Structure 1
Amino acid sequence: MAERLRLCPEGCFALTADGDLLGYAVGHPWFARSVPELDTLLGFLPEPAGAWCIHDVALLPEARGRGGAAELVGLMRDEARRRGLPAMVLVAVGNAAGFWHRHGFRPILEAPPSGYGAGATLMMREVAASA
Structure 2
Amino acid sequence: MNNYKIREIIESDWPAIMRIQNEAYYSTAAESEDVLRSKHLSSPSTCIVCENSAGQVIGYGLAHAYPSHQAPQMGVVIAETITSNNLFIHDLAVEKKSQGQGLAKVLFNYLKCLAIQFNYSSLSLVAIQNADSFWSKMGFEPLTLKSLGPSYDKNASFMLTLV
TM-score (ref. length: structure 1):
0.89
2:126 equivalent to 1:91: yes
Report which of the two has the higher share of strand: 1
Q: Report if the CA contact (8 A) 1:52-1:89 is conserved.
A: yes
Q: The residue matched to 1:71 in structure 2 has which SS? A: helix
2:103 maps to 68
Q: Report if the CA contact (8 A) 1:108-1:122 is conserved.
A: yes
1:125 maps to 161
C-alpha deviation, 1:44, in angstroms = 2.0
1: CA distance between counterparts of 2:106 and 2:129?
A: 21
1: CA distance between counterparts of 2:127 and 2:160?
A: 10
1: CA distance between counterparts of 2:97 and 2:77?
A: 31
Q: Of residues 137, 140, 155 in structure 2, which corresponds to 1:102?
A: 137
- What percentage of aligned pairs have identical amino acids? 24
Q: Of residues 113, 120, 124 in structure 1, which corresponds to 2:149?
A: 113
C-alpha deviation, 1:114, in angstroms = 2.4
Q: The residue matched to 2:154 in structure 1 has which SS? A: coil
Structure with the greater alpha carbon radius of gyration: 2
* Ranges in structure 2 where 5+ consecutive residues have no aligned partner: 1-35
Q: Report if the CA contact (8 A) 1:15-1:72 is conserved.
A: yes
Task: Describe the superposition over 1:68-119 as per-residue Cα deviations: whole angstroms up to 9, x where unpaired.
Answer: 1111111111121122111100000111111111111110021422211120
2: CA distance between counterparts of 1:4 and 1:115?
A: 17
2:81 equivalent to 1:45: yes
* Ranges in structure 1 where 5+ consecutive residues have no aligned partner: none
Q: Report if the CA contact (8 A) 1:30-1:46 is conserved.
A: yes
Q: The residue matched to 1:101 in structure 2 has which SS? A: helix
Q: Report if the CA contact (8 A) 2:85-2:119 is conserved.
A: no
2:23 maps to none
Stretches of 4+ moved more than 4 A in 1? none
Q: The residue matched to 2:39 in structure 1 has which SS? A: helix
Query: Residue type of the partner of 2:96?
Result: P
C-alpha deviation, 1:46, in angstroms = 2.2
Query: Residue type of the partner of 1:112?
Result: L
Residues matched between the structures, number: 126
Task: Describe the superposition over 1:12-62 as per-residue Cα deviations: whole angstroms up to 9, x where unpaired.
Answer: 111111211111110011111222111111212322x03100000111122
Q: Report if the CA contact (8 A) 1:38-1:113 is conserved.
A: no
C-alpha deviation, 1:122, in angstroms = 0.2
TM-score (ref. length: structure 2):
0.73
